[in-house]
């Protein structure tokens, strides 16, 4: 029995799979250029990163 990864690889390499990937890629590029979508992404990023600071100094192992 073929693994899920093998099946996905076969689909991605088929003409039908390549066309689907091309369409999804085009749609994602269009959405990324849309200012409204960009604002939503930026807002989600701020919420996700909100309480974490810069990520460079989290105080781990400093003895404080």
Query: What is the number of structural domains in the chain?
Result: 1
Structural domain of residue 9, as residue ranges? 4-42
Q: What angle do CA 36, 26, 32 make, to 5 degrees?
A: 25
- At 50 the pLDDT is 85
pLDDT in tens, the chain (64 residues): 679 999 999 999 999 999 999 999 999 999 989 999 999 989 999 999 986 555 555 555 555 5
Residue 9 in domain:
yes
- The DSSP string of 13-45 is HSHHHHHHHHHHHHHHHHHHH-HHHHHHHHHHH
Residue 59 in domain:
no
- At 56 the pLDDT is 54
Residue 55 in domain:
no
Residue 47 in domain:
no
């Amino acid at each position: 029995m073929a693994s899920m990864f093998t099946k996905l690889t076969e689909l991605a390499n088929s003409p039908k799979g390549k066309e689907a990937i091309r369409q999804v890629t085009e749609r994602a590029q269009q959405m990324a250029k849309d200012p409204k979508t960009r604002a939503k992404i930026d807002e989600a990023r701020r919420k996700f990163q909100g309480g974490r600071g810069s990520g460079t100094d989290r105080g781990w192992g400093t003895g404080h």
